[in-house]
Structure 1
Amino acid sequence: MRIAPPAVLLAACLLSACGDTSSGEASTSAADAAARVVSAVTRGVLTDPATGANCNGQDVAITRDGFSLVLEGNCGTIVVTGSNGAVNVDRARAIRVDGREVTVLNMEVADVEVAGSNNILNLTEVGALRIAGDDNMVLARQIERVVISGRSNTVNPDNTPELDDTGSGNRVL
């Protein structure tokens, strides 16, 4: 008796929707999951990449908690919804941090948005920085513009950026 390789079995399972189609539930959820994977691949989104990854211009979604990643090369938009993690990014078009207790190290990024709280960003060159979350710390050599609407945030650039602070208890050093 010959047994099919695991990849063939997985593909067959996905194509057959991994279950009984009489209720429609199993087939719909498996088909939806397969469609999401195909959609992410075709859009060029790396979702929860391995420890080290080369962006090659792709967008990156970090959704898991407790991550530790190094993203090399030029990245598109990086969205971090996971918490309690760290990411080191060479270059990115944009970075958005929605998670909590995330550390971001970056050399060059056009736009940064921090909606989460208790994050630390150590950046080199930033175009626009927007902080809507609370209790975040941003260090940078160069920031063009800072917009803050959150509370108790600290921004410490080496230059004097344009500032719009509508939040409370924020410090730009």
Structure 2
Amino acid sequence: MATPPMIGGEHALILYSGSKTAFDAHAGTLEDLGAATYVGADAGLASLHDLALLSGMYGVFAGFFHATALIDSEGIGAAAFFKLLGPWMAAMMGELPGYAQKIDSGRHGVDVVSNLGMQSVALANILAATREQGVATDLLAPMLELFRRRAEAGHGEEDISGIVELIRRR
């Protein structure tokens, strides 16, 4: 989870999996390269974690790119808009631990402030405005489809975290 110039720096994260004994024996040396994080005995888990972390990053990037394209449709620059978007996104990141708990428990209806049905309407409105502004809907339209499928399956009163039930491996 680091580009070559990051190696040895404070932001380098290096994932390890496989033999815990080997990791423990060399942890001190590995820490010199970056935050050495052991993720499990299965040798493929470091790669899976890497891809999952990058997936989260690309999801955030997709939201940023869509939002800036939408605001750009009225001639507002991305840097100027980021003054609003950055703090808003930081605040929304604070919601993720609660979503993680709901996903782990399978209980998506607990403490729902704005349910999937309401969120579906909100996202449909965003996509309508997106089309009206001449901006592509490619990044967010699939999410609305998941919202709708989950709501049509009888889960409209639950939280949006329930869409994970449609995309996780069975």
Is TM more than 0.5 here? Answer: no
Where relative contact order (Cα < 8 A, 6+ residues apart) is larger, the structure is 2
TM-score (norm 1): 0.27
TM-score (norm 2): 0.28
